[in-house]
Amino acid sequence: MTENTVSSFFVIASALAMIGCGSSPSQQYPAVPIADTNAFLQELEANHKSLAEQQSKMKEALVDYWVQPANITEPCKVWFQSSNGKDGVTFYWDGRCDDGYAKGLGRAFTDSDHGLVGFLEEYPGGPNIPKSYYRAAYDNNSTSLGDESRGGAKQMAAFETPDGFYVWQSYFQVDEENSIAYRYETYSNQDGLKWRRIYPDGSSLNAYQNNDPSTPLAFSGYYTDKDEKPIGYSVNVYRNGTVQQLSWDGGQSSNVRLPTAFTDQMAAALKEAQAKTSEAYQAAEKSKVALNIYKRKICNGDIAVDYIDSGIYGQICLEYGDLSKFSRQIAAAETEVVQRQEANKERALRQQEIAANRATAQASQNAANAASQAAQIQSFTNSLQTLGNSMQESARSTAAFTNTINSSNQNNSSPSWGLPQNKVTNCMVMGNIVSCR
For 173-189, what is the mean pLDDT? Answer: 87
CA nearest neighbour of 40 among 205, 268, 236, 207: 205
- Rounded CA-CA distance 224/400 in Å is 95
Q: Which residues pair with 244 in a beta bridge?
A: 236
Provide the pLDDT confidence category of residue 10 given band limits of 50, 70 and 90. Answer: very low
Please indicate whether residue 310 or residue 437 has the higher confidence score (pLDDT).
310
| Residue 9 pLDDT > 80 | no
The residues near 294 (Cβ < 8 Å, ≥ 6 apart) are 105, 106, 107, 120, 133
Chain centre distance of CA 404? 91
Please indicate whether residue 280 or residue 388 has the higher confidence score (pLDDT).
280
Position 58 scores a pLDDT of 64
pLDDT tens, 346-371? 887 887 788 788 878 888 888 878 78
| Residue 264 pLDDT > 60 | yes
Domain boundaries, the chain: 10-341
pLDDT tens, 35-82? 999 999 988 887 776 666 666 666 677 889 999 999 999 999 999 988
Q: Is 32 helix (H, G, I), strand (E, B) or coil?
A: coil
Cα angle value 93/74/294 (rounded, 5°): 30
Q: Please return the burial class of 168, using the count of CB atoms within 10 Å of its CB with bins 0-12, 13-18 and 19+.
A: middle
The residue type found at 326 is F
Query: Following DSSP, what letter does each residue of 239-286 receive, concatenated?
Result: TTS-EEEEEEETTEEEE-B--HHHHHHHHHHHHHHHHHHHHHHHHHHH
Position 84 scores a pLDDT of 79
Q: Is 186 helix (H, G, I), strand (E, B) or coil?
A: strand
| 384 sits in which H/E element | helix 327-411
Return mean pLDDT, the chain.
Answer: 83
| Residue 277 pLDDT > 50 | yes
pLDDT tens, 105-117? 999 999 999 899 9
pLDDT tens, 300-355? 888 899 999 999 999 999 999 999 999 999 999 899 988 888 888 788 788 778 87
Q: Is 376 helix (H, G, I), strand (E, B) or coil?
A: helix
- Rounded CA-CA distance 68/91 in Å is 7
- Quote the DSSP letter at residue 21: T
- Quote the DSSP letter at residue 321: G
| Residue 422 pLDDT > 60 | no
For 285-300, what is the mean pLDDT? Answer: 95
Position 281 scores a pLDDT of 94
| Residue 180 pLDDT > 70 | yes
CA nearest neighbour of 148 among 113, 116, 178, 183: 183
| Residue 4 pLDDT > 80 | no
Helices 260-298 and 34-60 pack at an angle, to 10 degrees, of 30
